[in-house]
Structure 1
Amino acid sequence: MDEDTMPKDVIADAGSDLEDLVPEGYKPPPMAEPETTPWGIDISDADFKKLQAGFRPADHDDKWFFLATGPDEAGITSIHIIRFFSHMVFYALNIKPGDGDRFKVDSFTYEKKVSVPKTEEEAKEHAVVLCRGHLECDFEVLPEYDFFG
């Protein structure tokens, strides 16, 4: 990890000793072995807003944080799901505006270098479970998944 992606600030509120995971201008580090696949699922405006807002760990018990970047020149907003202590990006949901008040997860990127999950489908399921658990997203077009790992 280079100096541009390393968090440097300290959270000032509540006397926390946690590093500030998302200082001004923070950019998620690149994945070592990314695999991007089409997904094409529709999500609601409410879910998109929750994903955009993200999730910031409150203490050492939180294992994940969620960071939105973009939109880029193509209108894609990426939601990065990052492991707290390693600052390793496991997943990215690449979202573009859809029809009406809907959005579309156009593609999904996952880190192939990690041992769990082992398949693309497991990676998608794990990302959905994390989004539902941490951000209270519905992803109403998808079934309920059992948590694993």
Structure 2
Amino acid sequence: MSRVNYTPFETPPATAQWGRTVTHDDYTKMLQGFQPQSMDDKWTIKADTPEDAQGNTVVHAYFGRQNYEEIALTIATGDPNKIECLDWATITKISWKVEHPGGTELTEKEAKERAISLCKGLLRCAMEEEEEEEEEEKEEEED
């Protein structure tokens, strides 16, 4: 079996604080990651288990055959004795590749939407999109 190479961000990524809560079940799915099942699968998701003093986990999303890093989520874990909590872990930071072919740039909002979409689609996480709900509430308040 050949060794898979992962290419870290080629240029310094954009970063933003997040604060997105995650259930223990979704966190477990993130730890398991995703390996392409066929040539049509473009994404790989891989987690680095806690190595720092804070116990943070970093979940990396790689794209393409060369496994170029596109998104990284830093996750602070919760109390292992309280896994039933809905807000068991927190995505504290998101890092993402800004520049893409054709001169397009990925915004913070788009990076967060893509991260949620990858978690839901590939990892089968139950997390909901949060941005749309907040925007709808703001629009209702303005009317």
1:6 aligned partner: none
RMSD in angstroms over aligned alpha carbons? 2.2
In the alignment, the residues of structure 2 paired with residue 121 and residue 143 of structure 1 have an alpha-carbon distance, to the nearest angstrom, of 8
Matched, 1:30 2:8: yes
Identity over the aligned pairs, expressed in percent?
A: 31
- How many residue pairs align between the two structures? 123
In the alignment, the residues of structure 1 paired with residue 90 and residue 13 of structure 2 have an alpha-carbon distance, to the nearest angstrom, of 20
Amino acid at match of 1:98: G
Listed as ranges, the gaps of 5+ residues in structure 1 are 1-8, 11-19, 145-149
2:110 aligned partner: 122
How much does 1:143 deviate?
6.0
Higher helix share: 2
Matched, 1:113 2:113: no
In the alignment, the residues of structure 2 paired with residue 128 and residue 117 of structure 1 have an alpha-carbon distance, to the nearest angstrom, of 18
2:51 aligned partner: 72
TM-score, L = length of structure 2: 0.76
TM-score, L = length of structure 1: 0.73
How much does 1:117 deviate?
5.5
How much does 1:141 deviate?
6.8
1:69-93 deviations in whole A, cap 9, x for unaligned? Answer: 1312121101000013131100011
